[in-house]
Amino acid sequence: LIIFSLLLGLIFLSGFFHVKDKDYSREDQTVAFLQNLKQPLLTPPTPCHAKTNVMFLKTHKTASSTVLNIMFRFAERYHLTVALPAGQLLHLGYPRTFMAHFVEDFEVIGQNYNIMCNHLRFNPSEVQKVMAPNTFYFSILRNPIPLLESSYIYYKNDVPAFRSSKDVNEYLASPSRYYHPADYRQNIYARNIMWFDFGYDNNAEDDTKYTQAILKDIEQKFHLILIADYFDESMVLLKHTLCWDLDDVIYFKLNSRSQDTVQKLTPESEERIKVWCSLDWKLYLHFNQSFWRRIEETIGMEVLEKEVDHLRTRQKELMETCLLEQEAVGKGHIRNKALQPYQSGAANILGYNLKQDLDNRTLRTCQKMVIPELQYTSYLYSVQHPHKKEKQLGLPLPWTSLQK
């Protein structure tokens, strides 16, 4: 039977070699079809390549300090150039609209920076002078209700509209009584702060045609908008979109405050925020929808849940390795002043204590996970611009001796 089958096969094949010329095209099509059919099975998926030209628009009170830490660590891992504030600036000119010369050595380096993530007020034409044409742009938003309460506490001493009111609920009962648009530079944190950070007028009239045009404009300028209220899910989506590793987006929460400084909003105040900060509210609602739609279209909810669990497991492992108390502590309990975050307003900004018996490599990893924003900015500045005068923070760096 085997021999008989082989003979039949040979006869069948010989027929193909003696067909008329007009049948060759049909044979070629058949072979090509079969090859294409097999292709997905024989060839593994094309691996993606990590994006290393990335601009993060750092919005205020949106967990953006934690994202900045992620960006800085990534830049160090791949020896990337960061667009850092020039001279003694700690932000990229904020709240002024960004200009390219706000970046240290822009005149020398030009359009060759890989990473940009310090605070700035977005100005795309000037940012494009600094960042490469293939730069990936992303930002992060937060629900305006907890955002305004957080801003009120953090900027209580700096914002005239906040300073002259007793508490956040009193402010929201009649915001126009305390808020004067003429003082917009001092009062930017008191109304539509995210709208302002994206470069638009935070006192603009909430006109449907106008807001829809701005939302479309942001969609065209940014490849991805994350949501702080779903931070772990945002990190998983960011990892997939940038083709980064899990450890690239592992984090310890930075610049958070103690719960005893949180003021409880009344239901009436919550509803008033939606009206008072209606531009931010529409911004948030729009991109919250697009965020979940993006997840459904790319990684799916099932994969998302598994990867969020994986991220949290890895985060817990690192916390057990690095941290003395396994959690953030109040400003009065931070032992190493080099790890003391900047304190503002009525907030008690939390920090971390590291274990004392860590080997040098582990210690350096842990230090980078917990170092506050200003200290990390100052450190990277001294590394990238060793011949420039160091930024004067009045605080030591946790690894100054190792650096030397």
pLDDT tens digit string along 22-64? 343 444 444 443 344 334 444 445 578 999 999 999 999 999 9
Inter-residue contact 158 to 151 (CB < 8 Å): no
Cβ within 8 Å of residue 203, ≥6 positions away? 181, 184, 191, 192
Q: Any idea what DSSP says for residue 20?
A: -
> What sign for the dihedral angle of Cα 281, 344, 338, 57?
positive
Nearest 5°: the CA angle 71, 73, 76 is 110
Return d(Cα 386, Cα 273) in angstroms, integer. Answer: 46
CA torsion through residues 163, 166, 167, 169, sign: negative
CATH 3.40.190 holds for 54-384: no
For residue 335, report the phi and psi dihedrals to the nearest 5 degrees. -75, -40
By mean pLDDT, which of 43-47, 114-118, 381-385 is the weakest?
43-47
143 neighbors 229 (Cβ within 8 angstroms): yes
Domain ranges of the chain: 54-384
Asked if pLDDT for residue 208 goes beyond 50, the answer is yes
Sorted by sequence, the CB contacts under 8 Å of residue 338 that are 6+ apart come out as 371, 375, 395, 396, 397, 398
Name the DSSP class of 52: -
Give percent of the chain with pLDDT exceeding 90: 77
Task: Label the pairing between strands 54-57 and 115-116.
Answer: parallel
Q: Rounded to whole angstroms, how far apart are CA atoms 227 and 276?
A: 21
- The string of pLDDT tens digits covering residues 69-110 is 999 999 999 999 999 999 999 999 999 999 999 999 999 999
Q: Give the pTM.
A: 0.86
